[in-house]
Chain A
Amino acid sequence: MNILNCAECEEKLSDYIEQSLADAERRAVQLHLHSCRSCEELLSGMMDVIAAGRDFPVYAPPAWLASRIVANTPAAVPSLRSRLAALWQSLGEPRTALAIFTAAIVLGWVGGGTVREAVFNRAESVVSCAYDHAIRSYYRSPVVIELHAKIDELMENS
């Protein structure tokens, strides 16, 4: 049988308490415990720790805690699908549908082609401004300037 020293015995004490050692190991631990007062006391202390853990007090949380948690839980953010469904549903409601219909009639009567043209012109000017800005930024950027300089230099050398 394997003779254990104190450190080896100490490593196996939890398994010994929980009866999960193989027969040979269990006998080796028992043999050591019979001959070692210190390890025997350690075993007893560990069993006290386990017993104290089982009897550890269970405290009731304050009565208001659950309510506070629920009150502080943010409302769930609805998914895109459910938002679209809600929008579709609202469009189908008679009051909304009537409002859209009336607005379309009024705009068509007051503005007609003029409104459409104004909106189109405004959009076109915004897009062309953005395009000009992008092109200017591109040609003024240091990297592009340097690249162009290098290309010119290479072309001159060749």
Chain B
Amino acid sequence: MGTIDAELLARCRNGDHAAWDMVVRQHHHRVYNFAYRYNGRFDEAEDLTQEIFLKVYRTLHTYKPELGAFETWMMRVSRNCIIDHYRKLKTERRQTDSLEGEHEQVAETGNRFANPAEVLDQRELSERVHGALLRLSEDLREVLILRDLEGFAYEEIVEIVRVPIGTVKSRINRGRVEMAKMLRKEI
């Protein structure tokens, strides 16, 4: 997880656009993927990423480094924005985009599967997992994304979602159980 120094944030608070540009470029991958994983649409992920960063900029003065890492704070802002957006729309979501999406996939996962057939299998599995994830309730989905897809520690998830650790653990377990059952039915 990338770290960010206090001086850069102080420059952003003083209206330094160059510093803000650096912060955006350092973190927009993560926020974009988080938004996409949550709602399954690239176009909405783009708009949400912008909305999230504008909110981060407006509320930058409320971030207190002594209370936690900037990334955790930013993900809390992201999560709140995404949930607000999701509740406003309340429309059915397209669960997956086409395999021939216009967006380039980062090589991170592709490198692990040299065989094109395996790459396709892996993509199909990811699509099925994402489809099941989008069918979960909001409560279960958000903690499962944070834990299993974003790799946050339980304590960080507590900070982001603002619920007790027992609730986080219980939701993660229920989410995994429901996902496993959904995927089993599909086979």
Contact = CB atoms under 8 A, between A and B. Distances in A.
Given A49-B183, A59-B106, A61-B32, A76 B176 contact: no
Nearest to A43: B180
Contacts of A73: 17, 20, 53-54, 57
A46, A56, A60: most-surrounded residue (chain B CB, <10 A): A56
B149 A56 contact: yes
Contact of B24 (A12, A14, A66): A66
Contacts of B25: 66
Contacts, number: 122
A13 B176 CA distance: 9
A70 B15 CA distance: 12
For the complex, would chain A's binding face be called helix, strand, loop or mixed by DSSP majority? helix
A56 B177 contact: no
A15 interface: yes
A45 B183 contact: yes
A123 interface: no
A72 interface: yes
A10 B123 CA distance: 29
Contacts of A12: 173
In this complex, the interface size class of chain B, counting residues with CB under 8 Å from chain A, is: 35 or more
A8 interface: no
Contacts of A54: 148
Contacts of A48: 180, 183
B83 interface: no
A1 interface: no
A45 B28 contact: no
A52 to B, nearest CB: 4
A50 interface: yes
A68 B32 CA distance: 13
Nearest to A54: B148
A55 to B, nearest CB: 6
A72 B28 CA distance: 14
B125 A59 contact: no
Interface string A96-140: 000000000000000000000000000000000000000000000
A59 B126 contact: no
Given A59-B103, A73-B57, A15 B169 contact: yes
Interface in B101-132: 103-106, 108-109, 112, 122-123, 125-126, 129-130
Contacts of A68: 50
A65 interface: yes
A65 B49 contact: yes
Contact of B106 (A14, A15, A58): A58
Given A14-B176, A49-B180, A59-B104, 11 more contacts: A11-B173, A15-B173, A41-B184, A42-B180, A52-B126, A56-B126, A61-B28, A61-B49, A66-B24, A69-B50, A75-B17
Interface of A: 10-15, 41-42, 45-46, 48-50, 52-62, 65-66, 68-70, 72-73, 75-76, 78
10 contacts: A15-B173, A50-B148, A53-B147, A53-B148, A54-B148, A59-B105, A65-B28, A65-B50, A69-B54, A78-B15
